[in-house]
Amino acid sequence: MRVLGIETSCDETGVAIYDTENGLLGHTLYSQVKLHADYGGVVPELASRDHVRKSIPLIHEVFKQAQLSSDDIDGVAYTAGPGLVGALLVGACLGRSLAYGWDKPAIAVHHMEGHLLAPMLETPQPQFPFIALLVSGGHTQLVDVQGIGQYQLLGESLDDAAGEAFDKTAKLMGLDYPGGPRLAKLAQQGKDVGYQFPRPMTDRPGLDFSFSGLKTFTANTLAKAGTDQQSLADVALAFEQAVVDTLVIKCQRALKQCGRKRLVIAGGVSANVRLREQLQSAVQKRGGEVFYPRPAFCTDNGAMIALAGALRLQAGQSTDLAIKTYPRWPLADLPALA
């Protein structure tokens, strides 16, 4: 089954074609970073308008990559949530309309299920069951995954997501948008000078997270540390290590609690090199395995939506003609595959 996937949940327009027998046939992505940089964050109305401008040219481009036409497509998948409602509506209206015009089935895809399944774009693929760490600018969640649609939320951030904490802390340091990747790059120049940053909520039972306090702690540290480049790098390193240590501790706790050996990490923050290295080391010491997508598929992309949609369409699921989007959409609400 060949499925066209369309992703427009926030500030990146992603389009891809996935074949359940031959894998990814083509993908393309347009980032709106430059569009929103002057505002220091995503402006929803501008994001929606840019998706309108870019979606159809990207669809033409991915068909050209794959050397296919609409006649070769068996279904259309589009992100229906969670995300910015205006941006979601662009992809949902386009995807549902194309499917109707081509007389093909359509499927509304959960954005976070796309991230969760993104490591299946790689070889080897993770086998069920596993623990998933979904870590991005909008979400930090630990999920016990027994199969597609069989998701049990184990813990989540009670305030800022990890990626959001990265971005807000980067802004405190005067780093340009998008701040998270810039902070991680700055941390590579940092030295361990003995800053004692907290590892939030690791001193108590449970799998929930809290990162807003780290932003305040960083602000107080910066006030004493100075604003020269090396001082900023040292603070960036201490902040990044605190976030990474917190995530690693919670992942180990989740694996032990559920008796799992496999860990999947996905979402924009999963591209962080320090996080990957430390999770790999910690899980391997337990005799387990870690799976993650290549960096290009950590951030929002059409490939993960095409894959998730293909798996559900192949199982006989589809979405009716009504166009619905879900700015908030719990993973646990998704139907399981038979």
Phi, psi (5° rounding) for residue 259? 70, 35
In this prediction, residue 87 has a pLDDT band, given cuts at 50, 70 and 90, of very high
Residues sharing a CB contact under 8 Å with residue 253, sequence separation 6 or more, in sequence order: 207
In this prediction, residue 54 has a pLDDT band, given cuts at 50, 70 and 90, of very high
For the segment 13-22, the average pLDDT, to the nearest whole number, is 98
Mean pLDDT across the chain: 97
Phi, psi (5° rounding) for residue 5? -115, 135
Domains and CATH numbers, the chain: 2-117+297-333 (3.30.420.40), 128-292 (3.30.420.40)
Check pLDDT > 80 for residue 338.
Answer: no
Are 12 and 85 a contacting pair, CB within 8 Å? no
**What digits encode the pLDDT tens for the residues 275-332?**
999 999 999 999 999 999 999 999 999 999 999 999 999 999 999 999 999 999 999 9
Are 233 and 187 a contacting pair, CB within 8 Å? yes
**What digits encode the pLDDT tens for the residues 256-268?**
999 999 999 999 9
In this prediction, residue 227 has a pLDDT band, given cuts at 50, 70 and 90, of confident
Which residues of the chain form beta strands (DSSP E)?
A: 2-7, 12-19, 23-31, 75-81, 106-110, 130-135, 140-147, 150-156, 262-266, 289-291
Map residue 153 onto helix, strand or coil.
strand
Binding residues: 111, 115, 134-138, 167, 180, 272, 300
Q: Is the dihedral angle over the CA atoms 210, 211, 213, 217 positive or is it negative? A: positive
Tokens 């080391």, residue located? 281
Binding residues for substrate: 134-138, 167, 180, 272
In this prediction, residue 226 has a pLDDT band, given cuts at 50, 70 and 90, of confident
> What's the token pair of residue 14?
């992603």
**What digits encode the pLDDT tens for the residues 155-209?**
999 999 999 999 999 999 999 999 999 999 999 999 999 999 999 999 999 999 9
Tokens 């596993």, residue located? 130
> What's the token pair of residue 240?
């990044």
Angle between helices 273-285 and 229-258 (to 10 degrees): 30
> β-strand 140-147 against 150-156: which pairing, if any?
antiparallel
Binding residues for Fe cation: 111, 115, 300
User: Whole-model pTM?
Assistant: 0.96
